[in-house]
Amino acid sequence: MRRRTLFFVLPPVLFLLAALSLVTGSYPLKLSDVPTILGELFMPSDKQSLVTRVFWGLRFPRTITALLSGFILGVSGGVYQLIFSNPLASPDLTGVASGASFGAALAIVLGIGGSFQRMGFAFFGGIMSLVLVLLLVNRAGGERTGSYVLSGIVISALCSAGLMVLKTLADPERQLSAIDFWTMGSLAAVSSVKAYPLAALSLPVIALMLLLRRPLTMLALGDEECRAAGLSPRPWRALLLSAATLAVSASVSVTGVIGFVGLIAPHITHFLYGRRSRAFLPLCGAVGASILTAADLAARSLGGGAELPVSIFTVAAGVPVLVVLLCRRRREGT
């Protein structure tokens, strides 16, 4: 019953949040503006009204980015937790988000301004962070739950040190504020120029991860079960981790580091859905999209005219989830 309720409740919640995101901002839109917005869709931009330019140039791309980035973080968090069999594995705690942020910041300092180029640097930073985490875990001689977390903390600290160096080298008038944007996370600067390349790159990767749910489920059971089913675990693990890292890196290159969404979305999904089966990954994405869109609404509504960093609200939402998880694990004796 609870599972069926989730399928009925989640789509309307997402639709409501998206609708609120489309009309909320410093220039509020009204329902009466819809005919004008639709009627001027194919007109040249210099002939469109201000309402239409605000909607298609800013509000619509921002809403799409919030939904898409939240979906990316939720699905990627589910992939990390299933592959590592670790409830604390996420883009934040495995160092991937910090590495991607360092890569994007490096692109800024080098004067590389294109969206796809920054995504490339962010992906390289994210994948290198993941490789270093896996090397540290292998060097430690085990794959216990704490090994990934500790290795992720080490790599995140290394990336943070690198960010400090980049901030020292950055131009204080132009580049320093842009780097601060990546480290805090915000959707304030999102426009169609950034949103559509993100969609073009990440949607095929998301589709790939969703299509590979069966190999992912086998990897979650362990290498022996995976081999018994006729799957070689190493290439499948590398493919899924690379896909998740690419998607997260693309998101970070547009929104900056947004904490805790990839960590808590799978836990909320598991609590509501009750199992990690075929629908688990899409539900993780939907929950992540809901969290990030709601956080973005709060960030632009509760700042008294100023935009607040989105991570303030995602971390605030993540703390009680982690407290509940800790209490449940204590009761279960794990």
Give the per-residue pLDDT at 29.
80
- Tell me the pLDDT band of 295, cut-offs 50, 70 and 90: very high
Residue 334 has pLDDT above 60, yes or no: no
Q: Of 32-41, 105-114, 284-293, which one has max mean pLDDT?
A: 284-293
Judge whether 137 and 143 are in contact, CB under 8 Å: yes
Nearest to 305, CA basis, from 192, 188, 180:
188
What CATH number should be reported for the domain holding residue 33? 1.10.3470.10
179-213: per-residue pLDDT in tens? 877 777 888 878 888 888 888 888 999 999 999 88
What is the Cβ-side half-sphere exposure of residue 273, based on CA atoms within 13 angstroms?
21
- Tell me the pLDDT band of 313, cut-offs 50, 70 and 90: very high
pTM for the model: 0.88
Sign of the CA dihedral running 299, 185, 242, 227: negative
**Alpha carbons 229 and 212: distance in angstroms, whole number:** 15
- Tell me the pLDDT band of 145, cut-offs 50, 70 and 90: low
What string of DSSP letters covers 230-277? T--HHHHHHHHHHHHHHHHHHHHHHH----SHHHHHHHHHHHHH-S-S
Q: In the structure encoding, which two tokens stand for residue 104, read together? A: 């994007």
- Counting the structural domains of the chain, the total is 1
Give the per-residue pLDDT at 333.
55
Q: In the structure encoding, which two tokens stand for residue 330, read together? A: 């204590």
Average confidence score pLDDT of the chain: 84
224-267: per-residue pLDDT in tens? 888 887 888 878 888 888 888 888 888 888 888 888 899 999 98
Centre a 10 Å sphere on the Cβ of residue 3 and count the other Cβ atoms it contains: 13
Range of the domain at 303: 2-41+48-332
